[in-house]
Amino acid sequence: MERRDLLRATGAAAALSFFGAPRDALAIWSRVARGGAILGGLSEQQLALIGAVADTILPRTDTPSATDVGVPAFIDVVVSENDSDEDRAAFVAGLDLIEARAKATAGSAFAQLAPSARASVIESIEAAQDRRAEPARTYWRLKGLIVHGYFTSEPVMKEVLKVEVMPGRFEGSAPMPVRPSTPSGAHGHA
């Protein structure tokens, strides 16, 4: 990690402690600041698969991609540290089934596929009516984690959603902001 990143991270940690951030968050920040791994349970291959699925769902446009904001690391934290053994085993097994689907329908590991092939694998999984049957079950859990991890990340909350921590007002029927004419990934939303 670059020195300026370290300073930024520890500076943020100091700001957090001012607001009474939980020790867990401070610990993770300082681990990140030291350049240490926060990753625990998931293998490199599993993280590569997660990253590839995440960036297919939320690719880089004029806003960051899922991997740009560390979504795989967040998912590793949840699966490795928060899941029960049973949930983690089911998730890891489900990842294998997603990978197997990629190999069966497109001939190689998901992360090695071209964008169009990744898209068709995702479409085939999303097409399943029963979301509780594998690999859809794990896929939808993964998608939920990807979306949550992305939109709760610091860069996205600050730069993309521009979340105001203290809005100072409540308006119940405000107009929607005027959308720029660019077709996707536009700036200037609420």
Contact set with another protein (CB under 8 A): 12, 16, 19-22, 24-25, 27-29, 56-59, 61, 63, 74, 77-78, 81-84, 119, 122, 126, 140, 143-149, 151-154, 157, 160-161, 163-176, 179, 183-186, 189-190
Q: How far is CA 95 from the centre of its chain?
A: 16
What is d(CA 165, CA 109) in angstroms, rounded to the nearest whole number?
41
| Angle at 183 (CA atoms; ends 59, 159), nearest 5 degrees | 55
For another protein, give the closer residue by CB, 44 or 175: 175
- Closest distance to another protein from the beta carbon of 173 (Å): 3
- Closest distance to another protein from the beta carbon of 97 (Å): 18
Per DSSP, 177 falls in state P
For another protein, give the closer residue by CB, 112 or 120: 120
The two structure tokens encoding residue 143: 């998608």
- Closest distance to another protein from the beta carbon of 4 (Å): 19
CA distances (Å), origin 80, targets 70, 89, 170, 184: 15, 10, 39, 34
For another protein, give the closer residue by CB, 47 or 156: 156
- Closest distance to another protein from the beta carbon of 169 (Å): 5
For another protein, give the closer residue by CB, 5 or 81: 81
Candidates 122, 94, 123; CA nearest to 110 is 122
